[in-house]
Amino acid sequence: MDYLASVRMALPEDILSLGALVLMLVAAWGGQRSTRAVSWCSVAVLLGAGIALFATPQGAAFDGLLLVDAFATFAKVLIYVAAAIAIVMAPNFFQRTSGDDLRPEYPVLILLSAVGMGIMVSAGDLLSLYVGLELQSLAAYVLASFMRRDTRSAEAGLKYFVLGALASGLLLYGISLVYGFSGTTLFSAIASSYGSGHSLGLMFGLVFVFAGLAFKMSAVPFHMWTPDVYEGAPTPVTAFFASAPKVAALGLAVRVAVDAMGPAVDQWRQVVIFAALASIILGAVAAIGQRNIKRLLAYSSINNIGFALIGLAAGTQEGVASVLMYLTIYLAMTLGSFLVVLQMRDADGQPVETIDSLSGMSTTRPGLAWALATFMFSLAGIPPLFGFYAKFAVFHAAVAAGLFPLAVFGIAASVIGAYYYLRIVKTMFFDEAAPAFPKNEGVVEGGLIAITALFVSPLGYLLIPLIGGWSMVAAKALF
């Protein structure tokens, strides 16, 4: 395949890269006053990249470095939507909180991170895997510490950077082992090496690669950065971390497991099952004692990654489709929850993050309370909300793959997680009212809360034929 054909197949990444470079120049010349213009232009660039996804030919680009298929397209749509929402929710937050901390570099960093995440889910080679992952991570380190005057934000960025460097080292060591014992970095050729017979070196490489990927998706036991970074980072950045990078990391893990290590499914399944069970238990138990809403949502994200990994553990086409379905619904629940958290402010407009401040919100801000209750019930997997179907999909895939005990354990553990979600609902509807949050959400933020709440409501079941059919087509591309 000629080089120009490969460039055309990577059109979404080309659009994002060129858009980020042009907008960086605009930010350099326009300064602070160009922030809103750059933000909305960044959303337009993401929209253009999303449209380009459906206009590019599918196949292997750059001699197999990038794989353009239905699976990558599905994951990139989720990534671009989450990135756009993270850009849209930022201006009002920074304006009310610090006045001048939002600079035009913020949306540009989101765009660059989206480029890295797009490469991650399209990776067909260990080199493109690492390049995409590091491009995403480098932008994320800066975003975590974006509030320059906030010590918590600076601390979050430093912790994320140090622990991220450790995870990158583990991943690189795993990549070197896989390359050393297979003699190649292409996923298709690595799969042949795993299928040719047992190799202790390849097995160790498998473990270290999955360890590095587990850090990026904040799966146990590589979750330690998540609560501190989520709490310290600005809320729009936390919403971004809890959504788009999760999709990219889990999408990359699925591609590596199925494309590169498919013949070794019995080996990597053990690693995935352990990470799934540990994430579900720790995410549920550790969240019970939290008093900060952002820390609670951090443990919630760990818990939800555990449920999504149950679908991956199945190792089947149905299992991969259930992971994509779960990520789609999880994205709406999480972004909706953080959009509500953005409205938690005191009379001076400063962020309030304690769960106690939600007391009696059903009387002071009933619309906001019902929206958050919808997200909490859905995250808990309580029918008839759409979050129930997400869990049902992964459990059904696990049972169909013969992993009945895993599904039973996941169902039992979901009861533990339901406790802290219901505690928030109880605080909002049955506790004595705390001071009301001022009504300062913008039209865009209020509209996004309404859209995400409707999506995770029982109305979401109407979209099952569309999302389920598309996720099955995307999963089939890997098999």
Under 8 Å between Cβ of 162 and 156: no
pLDDT of residue 470: 93
**Residue 292: helix, strand or coil by DSSP?**
strand
Residue of 393, 376, 394, 396 lying closest to 385 (CA atoms): 376
pLDDT of residue 290: 85
Q: Would you say the C-alpha torsion 354, 357, 362, 367 has a positive or negative sign?
A: negative
| No. of helices (H) and no. of strands (E), the chain | 22, 2
pLDDT of residue 147: 80
Q: Is 362 left (phi over 0), alpha (psi -120 to 50) or beta?
A: alpha
Residue 122 and residue 351: Cα distance in Å, rounded? Answer: 38
Q: How many CB atoms lie within 10 A of CB 306?
A: 27
Under 8 Å between Cβ of 309 and 278: no
Token look-up 């939002």 returns 102
Q: How many CB atoms lie within 10 A of CB 470?
A: 19
DSSP structural state of residue 460: G
State the burial class of residue 14 (Cβ atoms within 10 Å of its Cβ: 0-12, 13-18, 19+): middle
pLDDT of residue 465: 93
What stretches of 217-264 show up as alpha helix (H) in DSSP?
226-232, 235-241, 244-255
Residue 243 and residue 275: Cα distance in Å, rounded? Answer: 19
Q: What is the dihedral of CA 112, 116, 117, 120, to 10 degrees?
A: 170
Residue 243 and residue 83: Cα distance in Å, rounded? Answer: 8
CA 241 to chain centre: 6
For the entire predicted model, the pTM comes to 0.93
Residue of 84, 80, 75, 71 lying closest to 51 (CA atoms): 80
User: Which amino acid is it at 190?
Assistant: I
Identify any residues that bridge with 67 across adjacent strands, giving them in sequence order: 60
Using 50 as the pLDDT threshold, list the residues of the chain that sit under it: none
CA 48 to chain centre: 21
Tokens (6 digits) for 313 = 């553990």
User: Which amino acid is it at 230?
Assistant: Y
User: Which amino acid is it at 154?
Assistant: A
What stretches of 145-199 show up as alpha helix (H) in DSSP?
151-182, 187-195
pLDDT of residue 97: 64
DSSP 76-140: HHHHHHHHHHHHHTHHHHHHHHTSS---THHHHHHHHHHHHHHHHHHB-BHHHHHHHHHHHHHHH
Q: How many CB atoms lie within 10 A of CB 213?
A: 26
pLDDT of residue 259: 87
User: Which amino acid is it at 263?
Assistant: P
